[in-house]
Amino acid sequence: MRVSENIAAWNTRRREYDGRSIGFVPTMGALHHGHGSLVKRCREENDIVVVSIFVNPTQFNDPSDLDRYPRTMESDLQNLEALGADEVFFPTQADMYPHGYRFRVEPDASTHFMEGAHRPGFLAGVMTVVLKLLNLVRADRAYFGEKDYQQLRTVRDMVEDFFVATEIVACTTVREESGLAASSRNALLSPESKKTAPMLYRALTESADCETARALLVKEGFRVDYVEEHWDRRFAAGSLGKVRLIDNVPLATPIDANPEQGNDTRRG
């Protein structure tokens, strides 16, 4: 496994792989078994596996949240080598934003709900950095988890609209035995919050409707941002202490979609 710590080094490496299939897993580090499942699938479907590690500042609307994001580079590299990654791209902020954040990809009004409403600038930051990374890696396939489902759909739409040749591959959410979705933020939960956190999944799967799910989460101590249903899935976001968690599950019974936005407006 080789590590490229700047764009120039990566571009040199990339030329070696012309004619071979490349799979790409973009991450912000603090890797867990959810990331591991993406890398494993990428390994199965491609000649070359590339993983990026970059904590993208433009998708954090709260500077303190950026500061708290876990950084575990040494263990990340050990895990990636064990998983069979060929290349790790580890650029700096100066590499990715050499002139600051002067150009960006802005989503339209159809994304201004859920994360688009509660995290101003988040989707623009995600799309901008993902477009940069896809242009640099030039992969045949890129792998994204369904836990961040709105992000996944937004990236897939952007790739289609900008004629990016990379196929966006959706991968099922990986969960702990308790049902809690694997997330880098789980490492920041206090022992008490770690016991409560699986209630997010239970509320999504066991509640009859969004209102009931919200009430259950509030009762358990979550500060709830939203519980909504879109694209035949139920979504929720809420915080325990300073840690914000999101999750979603497919609905057992499909719902009618809004023909304009591709989602309905059931909320709790």
Active site residues: 35
Tokens of 197: 């956190």
Tell me which H or E stretch contains 171: strand 167-171
Nearest to 222 by CA among 247, 201, 196: 196
Alpha helices by DSSP H, listed for the chain, are 7-14, 33-45, 63-68, 73-83, 93-96, 115-118, 122-137, 149-161, 191-196, 199-206, 210-219
DSSP 168: E
Task: Give the Cα separation of 247 and 237 in Å (integer).
Answer: 7
Strands, sheet with 87-89, edge to edge from the N-terminal-most edge strand: 2-4, 87-89, 48-53, 22-27, 141-145, 167-171
Q: Are strands 233-240 and 167-171 parallel, antiparallel or unpaired?
A: unpaired
- CA torsion 94-159-166-122 (nearest 10°) is 40
Nearest to 141 by CA among 226, 54, 20: 20
Classify 172 as helix, strand or coil.
Answer: coil
Cβ atoms of residues 262 and 154 within 8 Å: no
Q: In Å, what is the CA distance from 156 to each residue of 61, 105, 150?
A: 22, 13, 10
